[in-house]
Structure 1
């Protein structure tokens, strides 16, 4: 139903209100680059780093206090804090402590820290083992905004619909951007009877998407699942531009009142919905496909490459620091 059509035709009661959605091919499972960081939330990581720094500074302060100078410790507060910081990092990674606090107050601090470190490390180890076995299935397009950003995709529409007419007349907003993308060659318009072929031959390749009514997409995926037995497509979570589906006729048609009465009874008893569900035998098989899968196989470089990237970055930083130390030593020797 559109304003232009309402001028020349009479419309019945709505049979159904059906929003538009987008369907694309599901991505292939892959490992995230930084999966080894996912067992802990970023707030936990930040809190752990701050705790290590605070413990190092506190123990360094305990060491340089006057009543502990007879323990053999020497050096400034900064130097002692750095020593203790290194010691607590080693403890957090499962190594032994090289320094035993001489006074009870500092020992209480270390005891609490060791208990917290034990809980954090054990929780991390258990969750890491599970996450490394998980493969994420990426979703490239879940909204119109995603489609506009994915320049490699082309959208397939049903030709001569209320939505395509609205796109041509839109002046601002995301629908205007979508129309501009179509003008730039990222849109194809086909008849409804060509949709199953487009889903199988184009969308399945991975660089096409279909924008259609929710019921139309479910029927297409139902037929595809009945034929292949696979859930290869993803339906966007975003719903937009709800379409009012009804019966259109001549304004002078005398039976429109009877049509409205029968449509009302059909809707009240959900006869239309039951008919759709009966025709789409597998309509619900692929509505909520999994977004992650679990595998039982040896860890490969793809699973742990983020950790090796971090290791290489650490080597690069240590090399830079070593060069600075050498240059500093050579400068002092020359003086």
Structure 2
């Protein structure tokens, strides 16, 4: 996280349970949210308990585990287990980038505008050259 992700050249695609403790620690060290977890989740948080194979307690443990996760109690425990755990949980919806606009930063827009004008002039000339032969005396298309 501190090398490739901070340099903005990579992202990490992994279970968020691995980063639930790393993000608050990073916020505590730097005082700013440099890293965010995405809002969409591709896998639920794992919650596991170990029992013997074919144990009579397994159905009850599974039901309890599902209840803890689905009710949000597990997330609440994680939230209170780490100081600053909710500070960088959701990324900002609007990221404002302030830069000074100059000709060097806008050259791409001007080049696209120039290419568009060039294509428009070429198409206009082709219409006048090729389309002029098809026009009759009265200004109607000859069929």
- Report SS of the residue matched to 2:12: strand
Matches within 5 A, 1:146-157: none
User: Per chain length, whose mean CA-contact separation is higher, i.e. which structure has more relative contact order (CA < 8 Å, sep 6+)?
Assistant: 1
Q: Specify every segment of 5 or more residues in structure 2 that has no aligned partner in the other structure, as ranges.
A: 130-143
1:218 is aligned to 20
Q: Deviations over 1:139-161 (max 9, x none)?
A: xxxxxxxxxxxxxxxxxxxxxxx
Question: Is the radius of gyration larger for structure 1 or structure 2?
Answer: 1
The alignment yields a C-alpha RMSD, in angstroms, of: 4.2
- Native 8 Å contact 1:222 1:281 kept in 2: yes
- Native 8 Å contact 2:24 2:87 kept in 1: yes
Report the Cα offset of residue 202 of structure 1: 4.1
The one of 46, 49, 55 aligned to 1:247: 49
Matches within 5 A, 1:233-244: 233-242=35-44, 244=46
CA 234–309 in structure 1, closer or farther in 2 if over 3 Å, else same = same
> CA–CA distance in 2 between the matches of 1:299 and 1:231?
27
What's the TM-score once normalised by structure 1's chain length?
0.28
Q: Return the structure number with greater helix share.
A: 1
Q: Deviations over 1:187-241 (max 9, x none)?
A: xxxxxxxxxxxx22343343352411x3332322122221222323342343223
1:203 is aligned to 5
Q: Deviations over 1:135-185 (max 9, x none)?
A: xxxxxxxxxxxxxxxxxxxxxxxxxxxxxxxxxxxxxxxxxxxxxxxxxxx
2:82 is aligned to 280
> CA–CA distance in 1 between the matches of 2:48 and 2:97?
45
Report the Cα offset of residue 321 of structure 1: 5.1
2:116 is aligned to 313
Q: Specify every segment of 5 or more residues in structure 1 that has no aligned partner in the other structure, as ranges.
A: 1-198, 327-335
Report the Cα offset of residue 273 of structure 1: 4.2
- Report SS of the residue matched to 1:241: coil
Q: Return the structure number with greater strand share.
A: 1
Number of aligned residue pairs: 120
